[in-house]
Amino acid sequence: MDNVKQVEKEIREEWFANHVVEISGEEGMQVISWGQPGTNIYRTKYVLSGSNIFISGDIGETVYCLTCRATLKNIEDFDFHYFTGKLSAFCEARWNFDEKLAKKELKEYWKEYEMKRRYKDSQEIYDGIISAIDESSSLEAYRAWLMPVYQDTSIESDDLESIWEIGKRMPYRLIGYWVGLQMVVEQLKKTEVAVWPQVWQTTEKRWLVNERSLGVETGYL
């Protein structure tokens, strides 16, 4: 997951640069619309209900189950890894498989753990793993292709367990869900006097916050 910071930057600049937040409801049941006016591209809806966060929109659907109330005030303190650890359901595979990353990590593992010295059939093992990587477009497929390597060579289960994990990339969508919430909080805090203290108290009003102008419009739903 060493690419999370890079992906976060891309999402901020390319997905959400012109997004505006709209909020309705009260603490315990809030609906947050996060989108660029005039288009549904990358538009995302967050529903904060009880201890759950339901997400839907242009970048897919997912559910997070927290161990505390799902409020922006609580979410503000979450880091990405903690937040993602609360993932309960997701519309696609939990991990993407990155062929280039897998080969890089395999090469590093081979050198660090002196696989050439430890296994007489190390070249056969290595070639088998490379073949598994080349044949795979998903983590599940890669792991299925690894099984003949385990069955037909002398590789030990401890090494296979480590090699089982190579090539994993966090999907952009999962990073995007978290980045969106962080940007929602950031926009609201920039209008702190008018908005932030009331975000989880209102029952009848909606706030529109434009990040660039930092202006606030209010109106009854």
Which positions ≥6 away from 190 have C-beta within 8 Å?
209, 211, 214
Q: How far apart are CA 97 and CA 104, in angstroms?
A: 13
Same domain, 43 and 138: no
C-alpha–C-alpha distance, residues 126 and 110, integer Å? 8
pLDDT of residue 192: 60
d(CA 95, CA 171): 6
The reply to whether 161 and 57 lie within a common domain is no
How far apart (Å, rounded) are the C-alpha atoms in residues 117 and 103? 20
Instruction: Grade residue 213 by pLDDT with cuts at 50, 70 and 90.
Output: very low
**Structural domain range at position 191:** 4-93+171-220
> Do 116 and 188 lie in a common domain?
no
Please give the residue that has the higher pLDDT: either 25 or 209: 25
More confident residue, 201 or 98: 98
Same domain, 37 and 60: yes
DSSP 56-92: EETT--EEEE-SS---HHHHTT--HHHHHTTEEEESS
Q: For residue 51, what pLDDT is reported?
A: 97
Predicted local confidence at residue 154, as pLDDT: 97
Contacting residues for 218 by C-beta, under 8 A, at least 6 apart? 205, 206, 207
Q: For residues 55 and 14, state if they share a domain.
A: yes
Taking the model in full, what pTM does it have? 0.77
Picking from 132, 149, 169, the residue at the C-terminal end of a domain is 169
Query: Mean pLDDT over residues 103-122, rounded?
Result: 97
Task: Specify whether 88 is located in the same domain as 121.
Answer: no
- Is 103 found in the same domain as 79? no
Question: Does the pLDDT at position 190 exceed 60?
Answer: yes
Are residues 84 and 178 both part of a single domain? yes
Q: Are residues 17 and 65 in the same domain?
A: yes
77 and 179 both lie in a single domain: yes
User: Which residue, of 129, 152, 169, is where some domain finishes?
Assistant: 169
At 27, the pLDDT band (50, 70, 90 cuts) reads confident
Q: Give me 95's structure tokens.
A: 């991990």
Per the structure, the count of domains in the chain is 2
